Amino acid sequence: MDGGENKKVVRIPETLKAEIIKNKQGYRGNESLKTKRLLKELNLNTVCESALCPNRGRCFKDEVATFMILGDRCTRACTFCAVDRRPPAPPDAAEIENVAKAVRQLKLKYVVLTSPTRDDLPDGGAGHFRLVIEAINKTCPDTKIEALIPDFKGSSGSLKEILTPGLTVLAHNLETIERLYAKVRSGADYRRSLELIGRVKEMSNGIYSKSGIMAGLGETFDEVVSLMKDLRAVDCDIFTIGQYIAPSVKNYAVKEYIDNQIFEKYKKAALELGFKAVASGALVRSSFLAETTFNEARLF
C-alpha cells in the first residue's frame, strides 16, 4: 500500500513513544469508561477509535470525543488511514438525535463532527450532516459546531447543504502536499479540495474555514510552506499540522519524525502568512483540542 517503495523502518523518538503510551493508558483507565459507556449506549462511532488516534485516551478521559457519523466504513482507500474499507451500511436515522444527546450529556461547548467518505450516497452524506448539526443546535444552542468533511467529489450543492445556521467551522483536510497525493490520497484531488475550502467564504456568512495536514510523509519544509500559501490564497482561517504515525505496517510508511523545532517553525510561518489560528506539534490532529485552537484564534 506504499507504492512499492522501500519500507525502511524509521524509529519513533522515545519521547513521542512515551507520550503515546501514556495516552493509551488513559484510554484504558476508569476515567474514560463514562465516555465509552455513553458512546456504546447510543451506538455512536468516533474517529478517535476508528482511526486509532493516539490522543483518544486523553480526550476520553476529559469526556471529549469527535463523532464520526454516517458509519465507520469508508469508500476511499487512502494509504495512511485505518478506517474500515468494507462496503458501508445505510445511514442510521437514530444517529441524528443520539449525537445531540451525547453532546448534551457530555456538556460539550464545542463539538467536532466528521465522517468517512461516502461516495456511495448521492449527496455524499451532506444531508445527514445537516440534520445532525440542526439537532445539536436545537438541543444545545450555545455549543459551537465544527464539521470536518470529505470532499463530496467537489459538489457545491453538498457543501451548501452543510453550511447551515449553527455551524461555526467548516474543516476539510488537505492531509499532505500535492506531490504525494498519488501515493497517499489516490482517490482525492488536491486542487478540488482547495476549491472546496475556498467556497466556504463565498457561500456562507461568518463560518470559518480550516484545514490540516500530516508531516513525515516525505514532504519538504518548502513544500509545506507552499501548501500554506495555497490555503491562504483561498482564505483558509485555521491550519493544523501534526506528525503522521502509521496505524499499521500495512499503511503508508513514516518517512521521517519531525523535530519539535521544525513544528515551531511551521507555526511561525503559518501565522506570518495570516492564518487566524495554528496548531503545530507531533500529536496535533485536526480535531484534537479543536476548541482550544478556535478560542485562540485571532478572529478579526
Q: What is the per-residue pLDDT for 261?
A: 97
The count of domains in the chain is 1
Contact 297, 276 (CB under 8 A): yes
- The Cα 243–Cα 252 span in angstroms is 13
- Cα–Cα distance measured from residue 140 to residue 224, given in angstroms and rounded to the nearest whole number: 38
The Cα–Cα gap between 266 and 119 comes to 33
**Chain mean pLDDT for the chain:** 90
* 3 inside domain: no
Residue with cell 466528521: 114
What angle is formed at CA 281 by the lines to CA 33 and CA 52, rounded to 5 degrees? 35
Residue 36 lies in a domain: yes
Q: What is the CATH number of the domain that holds 33?
A: 3.20.20.70
Which DSSP state fits 152?
A: G
- Please tell me the pTM assigned to this model: 0.91
Closest of 165, 225, 161 to residue 199, by C-alpha: 161
Is residue 7 domain-resident?
no
**Quick check: is 9 in a domain?**
no
Residue 22 placed within a domain: yes
Q: Which three cell numbers stand for residue 169?
A: 467551522
List the domain range (segments joined by +) for residue 97. 14-295
Query: How does residue 3 score in pLDDT terms, banded at 50, 70 and 90?
Result: very low
240 - beta bridge partners?
Answer: 212, 279
Whole-angstrom Cα Rg for the chain = 18
Q: 84: which strand partners? A: 73
In a domain, 291, yes or no: yes
pLDDT in tens, 214-268: 999 999 999 999 999 999 999 999 999 999 998 888 899 999 999 999 999 999 9
For residue range 5-48, what is the model confidence (pLDDT) as tens digits? 445 778 899 999 888 888 766 556 666 778 888 889 999 988 77
Q: Which pLDDT tens digit goes with each residue over 60-99? A: 777 777 899 999 899 898 888 878 888 999 999 999 999 9
Look at residue 2 and tell me if it is in a domain: no
pLDDT at 125: 97
134 touches 167 (CB < 8 A): no
Q: Which residue has the cell 514532504?
A: 219
1 lies in a domain? no
* 188 φ/ψ angles, rounded to the nearest 5 degrees: -115, 175
Find cell 485562540 and name the residue. 296
Beta bridge partners of residue 175, listed in sequence order: 213
What per-residue confidence (pLDDT) applies to 29? Answer: 63
Q: Is the pLDDT of residue 198 over 80?
A: yes
